[in-house]
Amino acid sequence: MTLRDIFKRFPFRIGLTFLLVLLEGGLAILFPLFIGYAINDALQGAYNGAMLLGTLGLLSLLIGSARRLLDSRFYAQVYRELGLEITNRPGLTPSRQTARLGMLGEMVEFFENSVPQIVNSIIALAGTLLIVATLNLKIFAGCLITLFIVFLVYALTKNKTVRFNIEYNNALERQVDILAKNEPSDLNNYLRDLMKWNIKLSDLETANFSIVWTMLMGLLVFSIIWTVESGTINYGAVFALVMYVFQYVESVVMLPFFYQQWLRLKEISTRLSEVTAP
């Protein structure tokens, strides 16, 4: 049972969710721009910009709330149906059934919570780069350079991430069997082994994140200094540009996290396919 299989099985409902996510993400990318308009209007004693900003916020609230209400009910149904299929397959020990139900939960949670965030991050990233390119080409070039380095850092550590996830899931599938033995020494060794791989994954993510965050903060500081030194006196434009760079930083920071989630779920999909294949 892969992520693609889930999409093929529930195409209409997942498609509706994606549509609402796209609308929500498209509205989110407009906030810094509308805030800039509101600031400029307010400085001139007008409030049309503030009214537009409030309307944008209301639309974003309505669409986001509708999506979340639909998602919670739909993905509960997905988990129930697929969970029954997994647990009813013959030849699985209770330990493996329990572990794989938990893995299925991770996949469903990924669709419900992570996929909307991924779509929003991609929309924000693409929209931000486009808008920054129209505002300042040097800052745009800095964004592209940092994006390339981020991809390089995580590409170089991909194999380690996959290997650590395989070992962690191997240990997880032994959990119920170990508990059933009721041997304190075996349980202690098992938990130590399980947490060993969890720590390795965490340490790898911490190292990658530290490199990426330091570089992105450098880009943010550079954008502020360069914008001021370029002589821009339109305060709304300055604010919008800095906010778009900050939004770019937020998007880039999240994408590697989703990439690591995808690597883990790809490994989980292989395990679930062993029990859901006809």
172/71 Cα distance (integer angstroms): 28
How many domains does the chain divide into? 1
Kindly list the averaged pLDDT for each block of 10 residues, start to end, along the chain of length 278.
70 82 82 79 81 88 86 82 74 71 78 77 82 83 89 88 85 79 81 86 86 86 76 65 80 78 77 55
Residue whose pair of structure tokens reads 């170089």 in the numeric block: 156
What was the pLDDT predicted at 1? 56
Inter-CA distances, 54 with 38, 61, 78, 86, 259, Å = 10, 11, 36, 47, 34
Residue 39: predicted pLDDT: 80
Residues of the domain holding 137: 3-276
Residue-level pLDDT at 50: 85
**Domain CATH code at residue 216:** 1.20.1560.10
Indicate the DSSP class of residue 269: H
What pLDDT shows up at residue 235?
Answer: 67
